[in-house]
């Protein structure tokens, strides 16, 4: 019997490739402080796992690191390679990483760990990390403490929206030390139209019906045009980045 939740999860996970260029243009990056908190010192060779179009790859390259970007979707990987040819781009998954054992100093995952088979992914990440290497995962969220932000997410729910289990890292794993967690404030410069374009790259929007998607984005634009913070030109979308890290034993 087909599991509807598992089927929807799979559809959403595979939905990004057709919108790779829009994803690269309209998704936010990750705060440098969060990346530094995970990496610490002595990192040279980093794996950006489920790298997408390179939102995290860009920040790692800017730090002068040697970056291998592994991504399962061919269209996302092609967009990454076009934008960041200095990264070594490879096709692969979190459960089957195409790298030798102990070959990287750190593995970072941006906005993707919730798509993994967590147990298999941690085993495989542990295999490619050197002893003492770091695993870090990041999730960007709109900051719900800001009143105008708290409302708009309700307006963009579609018929396939659901609460995704983000941050599904366990309390422990035999290959890793304790899992630590911190949050970092961040922001993303947007207009009403470009924020709608960002929301349009979210997986629940990508798999929704055209009518459902159009209605949700229309509600969003109407709302943003009526708020003093967002009605006129550019504004900062307040984000809160959750970061989780652990060290390879």
**Which of 159, 160, 148 lies closest to 236 in space, CA to CA?**
148
| Token pair in block for residue 229 | 């913070």
Cα separations in angstroms, 146 against 33, 40, 151, 152, 228 = 21, 31, 9, 11, 13
**Which of 42, 30, 40, 41 lies closest to 183 in space, CA to CA?**
30
C-alpha 113: how far from its chain's center? 8
Check residue 103 and give its pLDDT. 98
**4-142+164-189+238-247: CATH number:** 3.40.50.150
Cα separations in angstroms, 116 against 46, 122, 124, 137, 141 = 19, 9, 11, 12, 19
- Reported as a single tens digit per residue, the pLDDT across 136-170 is 999 999 998 999 998 887 788 664 444 444 455 77
Check residue 8 and give its pLDDT. 46
Check residue 162 and give its pLDDT. 47
| Token pair in block for residue 148 | 């105008």
Name residues of the chain where pLDDT drops below 70.
1-18, 157-168
| Token pair in block for residue 161 | 């929206």
Check residue 170 and give its pLDDT. 75
What are the residue ranges spanned by the domains of the chain?
Answer: 4-142+164-189+238-247
């Amino acid at each position: 019997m087909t599991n509807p939740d598992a089927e929807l999860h799979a559809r959403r996970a595979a939905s990004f490739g057709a919108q790779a260029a829009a994803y690269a243009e309209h998704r936010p990056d990750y705060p440098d402080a969060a990346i530094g908190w995970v990496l610490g010192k002595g990192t040279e060779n980093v794996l950006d796992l489920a790298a997408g179009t390179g939102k995290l790859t860009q920040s790692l390259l800017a730090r002068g690191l040697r970056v291998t970007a592994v991504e399962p979707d061919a269209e996302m990987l092609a967009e990454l390679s076009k934008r960041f040819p200095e990264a070594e781009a490879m096709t692969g998954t979190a459960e089957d990483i195409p790298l030798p054992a102990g070959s990287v100093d750190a593995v970072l995952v941006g906005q993707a760990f919730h798509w993994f088979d967590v147990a298999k992914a941690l085993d495989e990440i542990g295999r490619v990390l050197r002893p003492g290497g770091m695993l870090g995962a990041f999730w960007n969220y709109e900051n719900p403490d800001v009143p105008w932000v708290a409302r708009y997410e309700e307006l963009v729910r579609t018929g396939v929206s659901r609460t995704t289990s983000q941050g599904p890292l366990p309390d422990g794993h035999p290959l890793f030390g304790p899992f630590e967690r911190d949050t970092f404030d961040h922001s993303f410069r947007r207009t009403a139209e470009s924020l709608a374009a960002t929301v349009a790259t979210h997986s629940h929007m990508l798999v929704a019906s055209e009518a459902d998607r159009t209605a949700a984005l229309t509600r969003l634009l109407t709302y943003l045009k009526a708020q003093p913070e967002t009605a006129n030109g550019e504004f900062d979308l307040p984000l809160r980045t959750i970061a989780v890290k652990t060290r390879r034993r």
